[in-house]
Amino acid sequence: MKYFTLKINTLAWGLSFAFLSAMLSCGNKETINNAVTMETMSKKDVTLSVIHSRKSVRNFITGKTVPRETLDTIVRAGMAAASAVNLQPWQFIVIDDRTVMDSLAAGLPYAKMLAHASAAIVVCGDSTVKAGELAFWEFDCSLASGNILLAVEAMGLGAVWTAVHPDTVRISTVRTMLHLPDNIIPLNVIPIGYPAGNDKPKDKYKPDKIHWNSY
C-alpha cells in the first residue's frame, strides 16, 4: 500500500511538472515578442500569402451555393477600396439566380465558367461621377474588384475577372441583361465559387520591371 501511494504520488508530481512546463512553453512566444510585434508580423505574412496565392479560378465545383451573407461580406470588402476624392463611383450587381447566371454565360464568350460558378459580382462604374473634368471610376472600380478577388481568396473561394469594359459589344450584352442605365458601365463580371483545385497562382515577379529613382 505504501509502495502504491509512492508510485501514484510520483505520477502526480510528474503531471505537475508537465503542467508547469506546458504553461511556461505556452507563454514563451508572448514573452519573447510583445503582442503588437506578433500581430504585425502575422498580418504581414497572412496578407502577403493571400496576395501571392490569389489566382484566376476558372474551374468550379458545381452545385454548391455561396450564402448571401458571404457575398455581402465580399462586396463590403470591395467598398472599402481607395476612391479618388472619396467619390465612390461604384455599383455592384450580385448575381445568385441560376437563370441570370446561365443567360450571362450564354451571352459572354469569355465568361462561360459562369455556368459552373455559384454566383457572380458585376462591378460597375457611374461615368457621370467626376472630380472636376476627370473621371476616376475605372481606377476606383478596379481597386474595388481587387479587394473582391483577395477577399474571395482569403475565404477559400475562387474568382476570376472577366473583362466587359471597354468592349462595346460585351457592355451592351450585360447592360441589356442586368437592366443597367446608360451611365452605369459594367467593368467586369467576376464569377465566384468553390475552386475545383486545378487553377494555380502564377509567379510574375520580374526584377527588371523595378527601376530605382529613374526609368
Measured over the CA atoms of residue 181, residue 184, residue 186 and residue 191, the dihedral's sign is negative
92 binds a copy of itself per the rule CB under 8 A: yes
Q: How far apart are CA 180 and CA 186, in angstroms?
A: 8
In the region spanning residues 102 to 121, those forming contacts with a copy of itself, defined by CB under 8 A, are: none
Site string (182-201) toward a copy of itself, x via CB under 8 A:
--x--x-------------x
Residue with C-alpha cell 473634368?
A: 133
How many residues are there in the chain?
Answer: 215
Q: Which stretch binds a copy of itself (CB under 8 A): 27-35, 58-66, 94-102, 192-200?
A: 94-102
**Grid cell 500500500 in the structure block, residue:** 1
Dihedral through CA 27, CA 29, CA 32, CA 37, nearest 10?
-120
The residue among 186, 124, 152, 121 whose CA lies nearest residue 55 is 152
Q: Give the binding range for a copy of itself (CB under 8 A) out of 27-35, 44-52, 58-66, 191-199.
A: 44-52
Separation between Cα atoms, residue 213 and residue 215, nearest integer Å = 7
Cα dihedral sign, 107-111-112-118:
negative
Query: Which of 116, 147 has the CB closer to a copy of itself?
Result: 147
Which H or E run contains 193? strand 188-195
Shortest separation between residue 78's beta carbon and a copy of itself, angstroms:
9
Residue 48 three-state SS: helix
Q: Segment 1-40, which members bind a copy of itself (CB under 8 A)?
A: 9, 11-13, 15-16, 18-20, 22-23, 26, 40
Q: How far is the CB of 187 from a copy of itself (least distance, A)?
A: 7
Residue count at the site for a copy of itself (CB under 8 A)?
87
Closest to 56 measured CA to CA, from 156, 161, 146, 157: 161
Q: How far is the CB of 33 from a copy of itself (least distance, A)?
A: 13
In angstroms, what is the minimal distance from the CB of 8 to a copy of itself? 9
**String of contacts with a copy of itself for each residue 136-175, x by CB under 8 A:** x-xx--xx-xxx-xxx-xxxx---xx-x--xx--------
Per-residue binder mask for a copy of itself (CB under 8 A), 47-66, x = binder: xxxxxx-x-x----------
